[in-house]
A and B are shown apart, each in its own frame.
Chain A
Amino acid sequence: NAGVTQTPKFQVLKTGQSMTLQCAQDMNHNSMYWYRQDPGMGLRLIYYSASEGTTDKGEVPNGYNVSRLNKREFSLRLESAAPSQTSVYFCASSEPGTARGEAFFGQGTRLTVV
């Protein structure tokens, strides 16, 4: 009964390094999302994938790329990390056709860029 699983849970990067955040869901959901959460703010949408094979930009896509590898997996890549990307990253999945707005979130990845 895993739900949405994110790896890694914690990461420290140096400015300019690259990394990929992994996300997998086992609920057979069509839609998946990446959000970031900064102190004192709500979550902001980076990218989403409404269905397998499609991806779209959210509110704050600059500096990120995504890949919807298959129905289960949706990865987020930082090509050249910057201190402004220090944040907590959440992956989520949902089935908008049957439960609109009800997204299931992972535990988050706490990323620090120094």
Chain B
Amino acid sequence: GESVGLHLPTLSVQEGDNSIINCAYSNSASDYFIWYKQESGKGPQFIIDIRSNMDKRQGQRVTVLLNKTVKHLSLQIAATQPGDSAVYFCAEDSGYSTLTFGKGTMLLVSP
């Protein structure tokens, strides 16, 4: 299996619960933020993005919140399902879609 999950912060939830994954970013000049999901043995997959001139953006079962004052980003997943189990990364677009990734959070969903 993939070893990327070692030493990662882990969030364990029950199926059906809402999950909140947090991320702190460092570059106050960043103007574009993205969340990616990485399942074991696979490459990251785009979930949702948000521009710095927005505070909130909603997708299907997911919501991203941006607080520029404290440089904090969060991903909310509604009605979490076992298929949501993965490592979640926040990322900043540093230009030309070059991404600076955070270290990731592992989400474990129990049936």
Contact = CB atoms under 8 A, between A and B. Distances in A.
Candidate in B42, B44, B97 with the most chain A CB atoms within 10 angstroms: B97
Contacts of B29: none
Contact of A43 (B2, B44, B96): B44
A100 B7 contact: no
Interface residues of B, number: 28
Contact of A96 (B2, B42, B45, B97): B97
B43 A105 contact: yes
B32 A37 contact: no
Interface stretch (A13-21, A44-52, A73-81): A44-52
Contact of A39 (B4, B41, B101): B4
Contacts, number: 79
A2 interface: no
B103 A42 contact: yes
B14 to A, nearest CB: 26
Interface string B74-111: 00000000000000010101001111111110000000
A101 B97 contact: yes
A64 B7 CA distance: 27
Interface string A10-44: 00000000000000000000010101010111111
Interface residues of A, number: 30
Given A43-B89, A43-B101, A90-B43, 4 more contacts: A42-B103, A45-B98, A45-B100, A102-B34
30 contacts: A31-B96, A33-B97, A35-B99, A39-B3, A40-B6, A40-B103, A41-B4, A42-B91, A42-B102, A42-B104, A43-B44, A43-B89, A45-B99, A58-B98, A59-B100, A88-B2, A94-B97, A96-B97, A100-B49, A100-B97, A101-B46, A101-B91, A101-B99, A102-B34, A102-B49, A104-B46, A105-B43, A105-B44, A105-B45, A108-B41
Interface of B: 2-4, 6-8, 32-34, 41-46, 49, 89, 91, 93, 96-104
Interface of A: 4, 31, 33, 35, 37, 39-45, 48, 50, 58-59, 88, 90, 92, 94, 96, 100-108
